[in-house]
Amino acid sequence: MGKTIYYGGAILTMAEPLYAEAVLVEDGVIRAVGNEEDVMKHQDVSTCMVDLMGRCLMPAFIDSHSHITALASTMGLVPLAELPDMNAVCARLEDYRVKHQVKDGEWIIGFGYDHNIFPDGRQPDKSDLDCFTRNPVLISHASGHMGVVNSMGLERMGITKDTPDPEGGRIGRVTEQGCPGRERSEIGTGNGFGEPNGYLEESALIGRAGSLLSPDPEREMEGLRKAQEVYLSHGITTIQDGLMKEDGFRLLARAGQEGVLKADIVGYPDMKNAKELGGRTEYVKRYQNHLKIGGYKIILDGSPQGRTAWMSRPYEGAEDGYRGYPTYSEAEVEQYVETAYKEDMQILAHCNGDAAAEQFLNAAEKAAREIVDAGGMGKDIRPVMIHAQFARGDQIRRMARISMIPSFFAAHIYYWGDVHLKNLGRERAERISPVRTALDAGVIYTLHQDTPVIEPDMLETVWCVVNRTTKGGIRLSQEEAVSCLDALKGVTIYAAVQYHEESSKGSIEEGKRADLVILSEDPLRAGKDRIRGITVLETIKDGETVYCRER
């Protein structure tokens, strides 16, 4: 692999000292960091010299939560993001049907619609999709927590008026007023009876879409290649598969064996179905061909923009006191967390609402008392609260005592901040993604994008945390804003801590892996308004360039 020396620009180490003049990389490892004169002493005739020409070199970004196999699967779906209404959605679906010559009876599946930007703000239902009479159609919400099928789709799925609502989910029902979806209170009552209206929520949807299309190994591998390239183009060299299933594991393992994986992938099987991945001990907590199993994942509630996140207080305008709902009972969550601690396995829990956060915290505190304090396992599993959107200050301070890490989906501030103001009121929405509270409490935090919900754009997320401005231009509480440096820690060194990889990743220091990114300018010197306009020019994994932007 040889030697490479980087010099001539801002080298942001994310360590002490914060800046260096030059870096030597040899055989995929950082061998020297310091002033240019000292580093240049290592130069010989075979050394590759890289003049940064005033640009910025820093540690590559680390994705603390996303779903690479889910992104791979969307590569073959109809993209629906940012479409303004259902007319545009149906037009896009029809264009796809014609262009791809979809045969009668074959599924048409779209991903990424957001009812919050539709003029009437309502969830669609089967009547909106029944213009398709020869094909079953499914469209999945941008959050991944809800979706809609047409009448033929309901028939194919076997969902009838007698199909009960599954645990932790809802099937939309037709009411006397017609098809619901127009008001949240009309979308099913949990009694499991009534003609389905096509709307599927949480567990009623999750897991269904992946089984609708016939598996095509080559199509799946091509989707994974494209998905990985998306991450690499954003400077990310460690990627998560945050709800890994058996088919996803097989795809990733095959990709690793065939040399397709350029980045490190850390998978977290759904704990409910983790037995599917039994016998994969060679991947547990250690990389094999860039793939490892990092622990378990559980989902404890839904989406705040879809009004399914579990809150301790009702949503705005909910006359029936509706505040979302949990996925599991207290006893089930305690059992899951206890199992993780006893097996010394990290556990990630999806918690958007503060009621879900409370459920996870209670279970983790109980496990810490009864297992760790008693001398059992789980002493350093570093449990992670995924999203933690509405975690309260008192809850974050409790996290510090059990080394729990909140991983904030902070881009919600920009993308759905206006929706949260409407759904939850000013008081709660103001403090969404409370990064400053975590910083002040001495809690390690990370930042993510939950891809494929949005692109894995780390610099945009840093901009969101620093500025806390919604799409509508409203500035949310500046008391929760942090500096650019503190935001960058959440996607570099702190993210490495989350993965138990702080000794090898997250900063530019001697002995660490040469996972690096070259940016068009230094984020710390760009000014907070320009952060998300910074361009990723090159991504380097273990000393090798894995992405280079066309110039």
Summarize pLDDT for 108-155 with one digit per residue, the tens: 999 999 999 999 889 999 999 999 999 999 999 988 889 999 999 999
* Six-digit token string for 17: 């000292």
Tokens 């199509």 correspond to what residue?
219
The whole-angstrom separation of Cα 499 and Cα 295 is: 10
pLDDT on residue 276: 67
Residue of 72, 74, 62 lying closest to 248 (CA atoms):
72
CA-CA distances (angstroms) from residue 313 to 70, 116, 184, 354? 32, 21, 16, 9
CA-CA distances (angstroms) from residue 191 to 170, 253, 315, 544? 9, 42, 21, 57
Contact 313, 323 (CB under 8 A): yes
User: What is the DSSP code (8-state) at residue 153?
Assistant: H
Q: 264-269 and 291-293 as β-strands: parallel, antiparallel, unpaired?
A: parallel
Packing angle of the helix pair 330-342, 354-367 (nearest 10 deg): 50
Contact 22, 36 (CB under 8 A): yes
The whole-angstrom separation of Cα 122 and Cα 187 is: 11
pLDDT on residue 211: 67
DSSP letters spanning 45-75 = TTPEEEE-TT-EEEEPEE-SS-BHHHHHHHT
Q: Strand (E) positions, 85-130? A: 108-113
pLDDT on residue 185: 35
Contact 204, 165 (CB under 8 A): yes
Tokens 């099928």 correspond to what residue?
149
User: Does residue 484 sit in helix, strand or coil?
Assistant: helix
* Six-digit token string for 529: 């308004």
Instruction: Determine the residue type at 426.
Output: R
From first to last of the 551 residues of the chain, give the pLDDT tens digit. 689 999 999 999 999 999 999 999 999 999 999 999 999 999 999 999 999 999 999 999 999 999 999 999 888 889 998 899 999 999 999 999 999 999 999 999 999 999 999 998 899 999 999 999 999 999 999 888 899 999 999 999 999 999 999 888 899 999 744 444 334 334 444 454 689 999 999 888 876 665 676 678 898 999 999 999 999 999 999 999 999 999 999 999 999 999 999 999 999 999 988 776 777 889 999 999 999 999 999 999 999 999 999 999 999 998 889 999 999 999 999 999 999 999 999 999 999 999 999 999 999 999 999 998 888 787 899 999 999 999 999 999 999 999 999 999 999 999 999 999 999 999 999 999 999 999 999 999 999 999 999 999 999 999 999 999 999 999 999 999 999 999 999 999 999 999 999 999 999 999 999 999 999 999 999 999 999 999 999 999 999 999 999 76
The whole-angstrom separation of Cα 225 and Cα 341 is: 35
The whole-angstrom separation of Cα 234 and Cα 232 is: 5
CA atoms within 13 A on the CB side of 2: 10
Domains of the chain: 85-211 (3.10.310.70)
pLDDT on residue 412: 96
> CA geometry: angle at 486 spanning 481 and 487, to 5°?
70
Residue of 16, 66, 62, 15 lying closest to 498 (CA atoms):
62
pLDDT on residue 177: 45
pLDDT on residue 182: 35
